[in-house]
Each structure stands twice: as structure tokens, then as C-alpha cells.
Structure 1
Amino acid sequence: MYRNLIPLLNEKYHVIAPDLPGFGYSDAPKNTEFEYTFDHITKYIQGLIDQLELKRFALYVFDYGAPVGFRLAVANPEKVTGIISQNGNAYVEGLSEGWNPFQKYWADPSEENRNNLRGMSTAQTTQWQYFTGVADPTLVAPESYTLDQYFLDRPGNVEIQLDLFKSYASNVALYPTFQEYFRKSQPAVLAVWGDKDPFFLPPGAEAFKRDLPKATVKFYDTGHFALETHVQEIGEEIVEFLSKLPE
């Protein structure tokens, strides 16, 4: 999704875009060999930050990257110059009814409830996530969801996703911690949101202003993968936002 955003940013900024463990081109060991929780994944991204000796940086967070990024911000408040949240939720009012089967699994992590979520990793569901809320489907490049599905179809990956579905409960439990960080540290925040996201609702974006009165919130007529349809507009907002941050 970032293939068209990075070129808009890297003329002025050093962009570091790691795939989370278990995703993209990062290693994806079996879930019997690696603990797929958001806490554990965050430790690996923190390790990357430490290895690269990053002293100051802005965060771009999206979907699963949001709870990872917010954990990093809580742990490194002095290093974070700003946060761009693209459909990256930190408030319960941002959770749609689409989370109901996940919440059922959190409350009762039975094999039945786990199996009920297996369909979330199918090609049909992946395309549904890409196209829901998109006014012009021709703007969504086929290679985007095709590549995503290629990685999802790797042996053992469904179990990885199911482990992360279970672990997502820890993110919701940390929402008050994330919000306390917002109130205490007052980081500069730009929220850019596809307002027809089937999972993360617009009130989740608007809620940032409750803890961050100076936050900028922008909505776009699109779905979850907002960069597929509005990369130019969002890219311009990000460049303007970054230009105002301290060095």
C-alpha cells in the first residue's frame, strides 16, 4: 500500500518501512516457533529502532501497525516528533460491529470461536476489505490485494493470523494507556481516515481531538486502504504536517 506514498516523502525525508514479523517480506516462522502477539512484535520493531540508532522520528501507523506504533510512542516519548494515523485506532468508539466475532473470541477463546474467524484470511475477504467503501474500484490496483493474498496463503499463515486476532484484545486493553500518553506528551498528530472503513469508524479519528486538541483530522471518501485511492491527497497532507515538526 505504501508503494506510491514513499516516493512522495523520500525526497525530503528518510523513510523506514519495515514489514511486521509474519507479514510481507519479513520472516514468518510458524506460530509454534514464534509468539505472535502485539507485545512481542513491538519488541522486534523496537530492536530495529535501537539497531539503527534512531534518535528522533515521526511515526506513520495503520491498522495492525497502529497498536505497535502507539506502544513504541509510549516507550519512546522523547524520540517521537509526531504521529500520522491512517485508520489507526486508539479509541473504543472507533470499533465497528465488524469486531463482534473477534470480541466473542476474546471473551471465549474456544476452538469453535477460533475456527469461526478462519474465513478472514481468504481471498474473498481480502478483496472485500480492499473494495468496501471505494467509489471507483478501478483505482484499486489488482497487484495490491493479490500480493497480500500471496503472503496470507503461505503454509501456516492462517494460524498466525488467528493468534493475532486473539492478541488484538491486548490493544483494546491498552487504549487508556495510549490516551494517557496523548494527554501527557501532546504529540503532534495527523489523522487521515477512509470514512467508509468497515472496521475502524470515523468517531475513532475524531476522538483524537478529545485528548489532543491540536490534532488535525481529515476524512476521505474511501475505505480501509485509503492510500489505494487517495495517495496524492494524503501524501500532500503528510508532507505539510511533517514540515511543521521539530527536527
Structure 2
Amino acid sequence: MSVGYRTVEVDGLRVFYREAGPVDAPTLLLLHGFPSSSRMWEPLLSRLGDAFHLVAPDYPGFGHSDAPADFGYTFDRLAEVVGRFTEVLGLDRYTLVVQDYGGPVGFRLAVAHPERVRAIVVQNAVAHEDGLGPLWETRKAFWADRAAHEAALRENFFSPAATRLRHVGHSPHVEAYDPDLWTDEQAFLDRPGQRDIQTDLFYDYRTNVASYPAWQEWLRAHRPALQVLWGRYDPSFQQAEAEAYRRDVPDAEVHVLEAGHFPLDERPDEIAGLMRRFLTSD
């Protein structure tokens, strides 16, 4: 399955995206996490492009999209640009496939335009405080007093060890991970201006936590077709979050996988198979 690597202008910003599959097939809008980009979805582009139209944008400040210093990096702004991106491409109905930061972006899109959401597939993205483990205590301290905690956050947040840990987590199968995954991401993080961009955006992450009750209410009200694919070895997000989604959507399909924060790193064939069955079932 061939993949197209394209760029489109969205309100003055050049937004890079990957695209695969026939344009008249059901669309999957793939929203990536931190510190990755649309590249994390390559395993699905090659496995599901026969039956689906897959579109994976890079957010402003990530991957190959523009990263202007004066953009104002918040999750509201990222969601605004991605929403306009879907309109520019004429995507008026899609399944949201979200991982990590893709969750906050995707839930904002869903709340703004529920009529566009056909289904949701969650991969290690949080919408309940159940998912925030011990690592988040220091991060909450940063939100409470940015000036006092920013230096410590930067020292840890952007280190090569932290970038590797996001992938490998606590997995006993370290040999299954391609080290290019985190060395490539580290190269992006080390670009000029990136640490300022990502620090500003992570400071705004506190608005996601504040929005959890509203997202849960949206899930309960709309009861979308929902699949949760959760990597059990995630060092940051707790496994309890996978089952928390059932409180809002009782018939959600939940699978806990032998994988870490980026489940596609280890289980691409399994995930593609689960998604295909879920998205084609009556």
C-alpha cells in the first residue's frame, strides 16, 4: 500500500500529513502523541490502507509541520488547526484514532462537532484521572508553580533517557523496540525552539485534566462506538484508565496489550487486526 507525504496550507500554516487508502473509503483521522508525529502511524497506513482512508497530520510544532515561535501553543489551538485541516481536506465524517496528546486534540474535535465522529479508537490516551500515575505528581507541581519547577521539568522531560522510556516503558521485551524510534524523536526535540514550544504546550496540559469531566459527559451522552487498545507497560499512564472508559461507554471494547506507551511499537499486526474487526463489524 503506497503512502502519500503531503503538505497543505491551513490558515497560513503549512501542515504536513501522511495519507493512504482510497479517498472514498471510511476515513480514519490519526492523531499522534508526544514527542512523536504522524510517523508513529506508519504501521497502520501499510496494514489498513486497503480498506480505509487514513489521514495522519503533524500538529503545528511537531514533525514536518510549521513551528512558528509566535503560534501560542495550547491544546485549544492545536485542535483548532486540526479541525480546520479536516475542513480543508473535506473530511466531514471520520473515526478518531488517538494516542497520548491525540486524546486531548481528538476530544476537543468530538465536543465541537459530534456529528463528524463515526467511532473512536483510543491508544494510551487519558480522559480520566485514573490514568495519571505517580509520575504526574511532579508535573502537577509544574502546573501549580511554573517558575519554581520549569528547570527541573525541562531537565527530565527532554532527556534522551526520558524519550527512550516513553517507548520502552517497563516492557520485558526490550529487544522488540527499534532504537530509531526514540533517536529520531530526540532529534526533533533537539531542534532550535522545540523545548520552548513543548514546555508551553505541556504547561497547558493542565487544561486537559480540567476538561476530563466534560469529555466523560460527552462520552456518556453520545455513546460512540469505542475501542480502547492499551499498552500495559506504559510508564506514565495507568492501566486502570483502560477500564475507566467503560464507566462512560459500558459496551466499549477494551483490550490490554503486551506493549508500552506506543502500542504500535510492539503489536502492529495485532492492533491492525483488532481495529479492522471493530471498524467493519455491524
User: Which has a greater percent of helix?
Assistant: 1
Count how many residue pairs are aligned between Structure 1 and Structure 2.
Answer: 242
Q: Which has the higher contact order (CA 8 A, sep 6+)?
A: 1
Partner of 1:227: 264
Gaps of 5+ in 2: 1-39
Give the Cα separation in 1 of the matches to 2:281 and 2:89: 24
Work out whether residues 133 and 223 of structure 1, in 8 Å CA contact, stay in contact via their aligned partners in 2: yes
Q: In the alignment, is the contact (CA less than 8 A) between 2:60 and 2:66 conserved in 1? A: yes
Which string of whole-angstrom CA distances, capped at 9 and with x for unpartnered residues, describes residues 99-137 of structure 1?
A: 111100111222x31111112112121012211222222
- Alignment of 1:63 with 2:100, yes or no, is yes
Q: Please tell me whether residue 135 in structure 1 is matched to residue 172 in structure 2.
A: yes
| Cα drift, residue 198 of structure 1 | 1.1
Runs of 4+ in 1 over 2 A off after TM superposition: none
Report the 3-state secondary structure (helix = DSSP H, G, I; strand = E; otherwise coil) of the residue aligned with 1:113. Answer: helix
Q: Percent identity?
A: 41
Structure 1 Cα separation of the partners of residues 182 and 124 of structure 2:
18
1:137-170 per-residue CA deviation (whole Å, 9 max, x = no partner) reads 2211122111111110101111111111110000
Equivalent-residue separation in structure 1 for 2:201 and 2:151 (angstroms): 14
Aligned residue type for 1:238: M
Q: Quick check: 2:259–2:265 contact (8 Å CA) kept in 1?
A: no
Distance in 2 (CA, whole Å) between partners of 1:224 and 1:140 is: 12
Contact 1:65 1:88 in 2 (8 A): yes
CA deviations on 1:77-104 (whole Å, 9 max, x unpaired) are 1110100000011000111111111100
Match of 1:15, SS state, is strand
What is residue 114 of structure 2 aligned with on the other side?
77
Identify the residue that residue 158 of structure 1 maps to in structure 2: 195
Question: Within 2, Cα distance between the matches of 1:158 and 1:76?
Answer: 32
Aligned position for 2:75? 38
Looking at structure 2, the residues matched to 183 and 69 of structure 1 have their Cα atoms a distance apart, in angstroms, of 16
What residue is the counterpart of 2:153 in the other structure? Answer: 117
Larger relative strand fraction: 2
**Ranges in structure 1 where 5+ consecutive residues have no aligned partner:** none
Matched, 1:7 2:46: yes
SS of 1:22 mapped into structure 2? coil
Aligned to 1:240: 277
Cα separation, 1, equivalents of 2:153 and 2:123? 25
Q: Which residue of 2 aligns with 1:29?
A: 68
